[in-house]
Copies of this chain bind each other. A is one copy, B any other.
């Protein structure tokens, strides 16, 4: 039997928006004894993070924030990872684990490895979030009962991987490990394509001439509103995700378009059997998601005005 991995002592959080702020708050609430430092490139966010106590100490430079840390977590948009890494590099200790929370792991692994040669890089991705962003959006329980995927590059130090896994478990997450390439395919279908589609239909609906925007909003309870939540997500974050997970996104998008084309043909041809068959199969997936505790079965998830 292996001994439990020794916990990190000092965690530096670079980027203090929804995820970074939640990491700080969750560490204070669930990982007793760990000291946190925080940094954000935006002075206004640093000031707000101080007031909200998102980390024990908010530093004025990235290099100061990471000094003495044995774990650094980059919580910046995917496209800003390389620059953020270079900015903090002068402060990094030997033996530090550098991790992140980004949604596209192959490109981040590459940019961190090239920005921080010789350092131990272990990317990770907590699959959790809300449509809100910024330092006010964070909360300590964001990662409870959510998955966190750790993607250790080949040859990563096994003890340090175990330390990182244990840290995320302490914050409430269930941890899986897989390689970065597979992560990017999985997330393309479970997260990136849904966001792309949601952004698209919300855009389509707001540009119509024969149906007013007021009508779209009024009648959104018919299904449309389910898409507006994720289409309200942070634009910078999502721009970077699509630019950085391009190949997996385009692969999955083509499969979606092929399937949509089949349904479109069925509607054109009045083929009710194809429609009924497709619509029946999708119910099983919903049931499994409820069984796994990844969603709430109450009508409209317990939205107000409903039982």
A4 to chain B, nearest CB (A): 25
CB atoms of B296 and A304 under 8 A apart: yes
A196 contacts the other chain (CB 8 A) = yes
CB atoms of B195 and A223 under 8 A apart: yes
The 8 Å CB contact of A219, one of B187, B250, B307, is: B187
Give the interface segment out of A32-40, A111-119, A254-262.
A254-262
Tell me which residues from 256 to 307 in chain A have a Cβ below 8 Å from any Cβ of chain B: 256-257, 259-260, 263-264, 266-268, 270, 272, 275-276, 278-289, 292, 294-296, 299-307
What range describes how many residues of A lie at the interface? Answer: 35 or more
A295 to chain B, nearest CB (A): 5
CB atoms of B225 and A289 under 8 A apart: yes
CB atoms of A219 and B190 under 8 A apart: yes
A19 to chain B, nearest CB (A): 13
A28 to chain B, nearest CB (A): 15
Q: For the complex, what is the distance from the CA of A223 to the CA of B240, rounded to whole Å?
A: 17
The 8 Å CB contact of A201, one of B197, B217, B225, B307, is: B197
A146 contacts the other chain (CB 8 A) = yes
Q: For the complex, what is the distance from the CA of A283 to the CA of B198, rounded to whole Å?
A: 11
CB atoms of B202 and A186 under 8 A apart: no
CB atoms of B219 and A246 under 8 A apart: no
Can you list 25 A-B contacts with CB-CB less than 8 angstroms, sorted by A residue number? A139-B307, A141-B305, A182-B210, A186-B216, A189-B205, A189-B211, A189-B224, A190-B219, A197-B197, A199-B282, A200-B278, A202-B286, A208-B255, A217-B289, A217-B294, A221-B294, A221-B295, A232-B283, A233-B279, A235-B275, A235-B279, A236-B276, A238-B275, A239-B272, A242-B275
